[in-house]
Amino acid sequence: MSFPTPAITDFIGAYEIKQGTYDRQLQQYIKQFTPKYARRTLGVKLYDAIIGNTGLQRNADLLAGVSYFNEELKEQRYFEGINQMLIRWIYFEYNRDYYRSSISGQVSTNLENSIKASLLEQNGKSFDFWNQNVEQMCELYYFQKNYTNRTIAINAIFDNTGTLLITTSDTKYLINGDKVFINGIEYEISNVIDNTSFEITSPLIESTEYIYTLFDVKNIGVFKPLIG
């Protein structure tokens, strides 16, 4: 299994890259830079967890983007998704190399001014795309932090002789096997029913809330803005 990669057909509109004879070269850039930037963005642990598990809703939202309510900031926010960021990073790498090879050495002496201007414009757009991704890294941080030490109300606890049924109105992104904390004790959950309930193995306990963490924000990559 491999990490989902952008397709050549994704490079259209603002992200259009000369294709035709360049298709094979662009595909090599996609293959080379998708794992590099995805690992650096997400951290190796989350990168590996997504491979083969793109169907999980939390992974699908990380890849495709998601609008969500940020509990800490008390506002609706939008993360564009890793897929869109990869398109911009690959565009940056491809056009940076294309610009360097076209504008340097003897080649540049033969370029018409209009072509040079076009290359400079492309290079400037590459810088813009890089800096847009730097902004999205902040959004990735806010999104992941929203599901770090997330405290959710428990509606009721029912004792089924060693197994407790926990009812709650919020189980966002939780799946069987995830861990939650109740009264400072970690439990593995099972039989998750979305936004309804889950079960833990435990003697009867009393609590009004549970806490869970899905992401480690310390693993998020750091990218500095570029000045063209």
Q: Extract the tokens encoding 99.
A: 């610009």
Q: What is the pLDDT of residue 124?
A: 78
**Euclidean distance between CA atoms 104 and 57, whole angstroms:** 47
pLDDT of residue 148: 96
pLDDT per position as a tens digit, 51-109: 989 999 999 999 999 999 999 899 999 999 999 999 999 999 998 887 666 654 444 44
Give the separation between CA 212 and CA 189, rounded to whole angstroms: 11
Tokens of residue 68, six digits:
């969500």
> Does residue 162 contact residue 201 with C-beta atoms inside 8 Å?
yes
Q: Residue 175: what pLDDT?
A: 97
Q: In the structure encoding, which two tokens stand for residue 89, read together?
A: 């990073």
Domains of the chain: 8-146 (no CATH), 150-214 (2.40.30.20)
Residues in the chain with pLDDT values less than 70: 18-24, 99-123, 228
| Residues 6 or more apart whose Cβ sits within 8 Å of residue 145 | 72, 215, 217
3-state secondary structure of 36: helix
Helices (runs of H) and strands (runs of E) counted in the chain = 6, 10
Q: What are 92's two structure tokens?
A: 């940056």
Question: According to the model, what pLDDT value does residue 227 have?
Answer: 76
pLDDT score at 20: 53
